[in-house]
Chains A and B, each alone.
Chain A
Amino acid sequence: MSELKQDIFFTLLISLGFSALVLFDAGSYPEVQGQGFGQGPAFYPRLLAGGLGILAVFYAITKFSLLREKRDADIVLETTADIKKRPFLPFVVFFMTGLFVCCMQWVGFLLGGFLLSVVACLCISRTLTVRSVVSSVLVSAAILFLIWLIFSFFLEISLPGLTLIQ
């Protein structure tokens, strides 16, 4: 699928999907009487969701007409060779972060955060040497110390604790 078609497809999917979700939920809200114009809690979300859907369709129509014009023309693709893409890394780090949040109540923020930071540093740098591990460990310890200093020491905010010890 060309980039333009992908753009149209995903824009429609996300916008119409969100719009449909809001309209579906708003269908269950009660109609409230006596507020002039018969407004209820559903009025404003429906207005916005309708606007979202209409705009998304309008966008798709304008881009489809552009697509048809481009078929007759030479398309020059520009490549960005100087920026390397790592498409899976955001998802890996996001998943690890979610896992950390799930385990935080048992492992504690400091220990869990330290482990997350070390693993994330190594994943992002894509090196696994003794030197990189040692520097990741030291930097992660420094980061967690800084967080503890700012939040726990100065602001007196208790960090999610270590349930295993307790």
Chain B
Amino acid sequence: METFSLLTAGLPNFADPFTLFVLVAGTVLGIFFGAIPGLTATMGMAIFLPVTFNMTDTNGILFLIGIYVGSCYSGSLSAILVNIPGTPSAIATGFDGHAMAKRGEAGRAIGYSTISSACGGLLGIVILIFAAPVLANLALEFSAQEYTGVALLGISIVSYISFGSTIKGLLGGIIGLLLATVGQDVISGYPRLVFGSRELEAGLQMIPVMVGFFGITEVLIKLEKETTMQVIATKVRNVVPPLSRLVKFAPMMAVSSVIGVFIGAIPAAGGAIASMAAYGIQKRFSKNSEQYGTGVADGVVAAEAANNSAVGGAFVPMLSLGIPGDPQTAILIGALMINGLAPGPLLFATRPDLISTIYLGNIFAVFTFLVIGLLAARIFAKLLQIPSYYLLPAILLFCIIGSYAIRYSVFDIWVLLACGGAGFLLQKIGIMPAPVILGFVLGPILEDNFRRSLIMSNGDWTSFLTRPLSLSLLLVNVVILFGPPLISFFRKVRSQE
């Protein structure tokens, strides 16, 4: 009953036509950003985050959810048509989707992708609705030590799965944590790392930093590489697959969705890993595994169901613990913080209507992309032909005005450009923006809880080890960071023997 009341508490918000418009507009924008290679969900959310500043908290969150959900689906469009995934979570879709397109079945591939994305998305939300309150109740038992462990866990995981090396990911995470210390110390009020600047005493604003690292950095990276795409000259038709085939794929969609939700719930894992894992598992246990990669619909269905169900999974730690499940939920956390809301277990008690709005918004966004994907796939296929020399300056200008619009401050534009330039240079040495931003978002949580733990225990560091839950979290951190290198070291020693 409590779950049902939590689900329906936000229904009145959807009576406003503007709210529905905002959600649909966000989903359409998300489909645009996800479909075009080079534009990502994270970039789209970061660029339009400042726009939400002038909306109500519910409309702002719904707009960003629309972009998130829409782009998770539409990455498959370019993966199928040009074999370049629009988003990392569509990599596995391209294995079979593009092969189908080369055979003249692009429309059918898009149809399978759309419907399995929708099924995966809905199943992910159902699991979210039941799992998040349970985890939130558990999180109410957390003290400062446990929150320190959870924040460290987010950084450890994103470092581990970071492209490149784990150490580079950790370096990025620490840089992000240091950026979060700029401004007044929360306990003493003393200004840190401000170098005499009055503007920096208020700290670095979240929007320019996020937009800088996810928007400007990506623009600069794209400018450096000139990639050419060859769109397959094929008509997108017969999009809707036969019902009998869909029924046959139902168990596969369900299994892939469950895999996607659980992987999506791991902080910093995300849809890319979820879709690859689901694809790999389905291939492993399939009777016709040798056909995977040659253009079978099974591959498209498995990957797409997982990558969209991972969205629901990513919301679980975000809503219940206030820890981002992926960079996109890190931006959503930023949006909540901008509106004075602290994500975490208390949000379920103080704003059940917002929690319900997030659930219902996800559901509505899924149905929106389902309709658009089945009816308007041909139109979005045309988007792939927009040249990057028109898109990149547009993104640049949107980033600039978005950062300016928060406080009408030119200083924020300079912060944006500085972060964009820093992100570009860091990426040249293999440090990706995601760990930096996660460190920046988790920084206040980590510092606040870490220092509070030490103050409450009078400087006793063993307080992190004497609490069972805190100790468990620290052990998980140690295993994630040191486990793989130790395993490969012992394997090397054994092979030498």
Binding site for B on A (CB under 8 A): 7, 10-11, 14-15, 18, 22, 25-26, 29-30, 32, 35-45, 48-49, 51-52, 55-56, 58-59, 62, 82-87, 89-90, 93-94, 97-98, 101, 104-105, 109, 113, 116-117, 120-121, 124-125, 139-140, 143-144, 146-147, 150-151, 155-160
Contacts and interface: CB of A to CB of B under 8 A. Distances in A.
B410 A104 contact: yes
Contact of A55 (B167, B192, B227): B167
B450 A93 contact: no
Contact of A121 (B393, B404, B417): B393
A14 B426 contact: yes
B188 A32 contact: yes
B174 A120 contact: no
B193 A45 contact: yes
Contacts of A140: 393
A32 B189 CA distance: 11
Contacts of A156: 54
Interface stretch (B90-98, B310-318, B326-334, B395-403): B395-403
A101 B414 contact: yes
Interface of B: 51, 54, 165, 167-168, 170-171, 174-175, 177-178, 181, 185, 187-188, 190, 192-193, 195, 219-221, 223-227, 387-390, 392-394, 396-398, 400-401, 404-405, 408, 410, 413-414, 417, 420-421, 424-426, 428-430, 447, 450-451, 454-459
Contact of A51 (B174, B192, B414): B174
Contacts of B171: 11, 15, 52, 55-56, 59
A32 B192 CA distance: 14
B410 A87 contact: no
A117 B454 CA distance: 52
A83 B227 contact: yes
A25 B195 contact: yes
B197 to A, nearest CB: 12
A10 B174 contact: no
A142 to B, nearest CB: 9
Contacts of A120: 389, 392-393, 396
Question: Can you list the 5 inter-chain pairs with the closest CB atoms, starting with the nearest?
Answer: A37-B459, A124-B389, A41-B185, A125-B389, A41-B190
Q: Which of B188, B387, B457 neighbours the largest number of chain A CB atoms within 10 Å of its CB?
A: B188
Contacts of A49: 178
B167 A58 contact: yes
11 contacts: A49-B178, A58-B167, A84-B226, A86-B225, A93-B219, A113-B397, A116-B393, A120-B396, A124-B392, A143-B394, A151-B51
A21 to B, nearest CB: 8
A59 B168 contact: yes
B83 to A, nearest CB: 13
Given A45-B178, A101-B417, A90 B450 contact: no
Contacts of B405: 151, 155, 157
A26 B234 CA distance: 62
Nearest to A122: B389
Contacts of A124: 223, 388-389, 392-393
Given A101-B413, A150-B51, A39 B454 contact: yes
Contacts of B429: 7, 10-11, 14
Given A10-B428, A52-B171, A150-B51, A94 B390 contact: no
Nearest to B404: A160
A41 B397 CA distance: 37
Given A11-B429, A155-B51, A105 B410 contact: yes
Nearest to A120: B393
Given A97-B396, A121-B393, A37 B458 contact: yes
B188 A41 contact: yes
Given A18-B175, A48-B181, A151-B401, A90 B187 contact: no
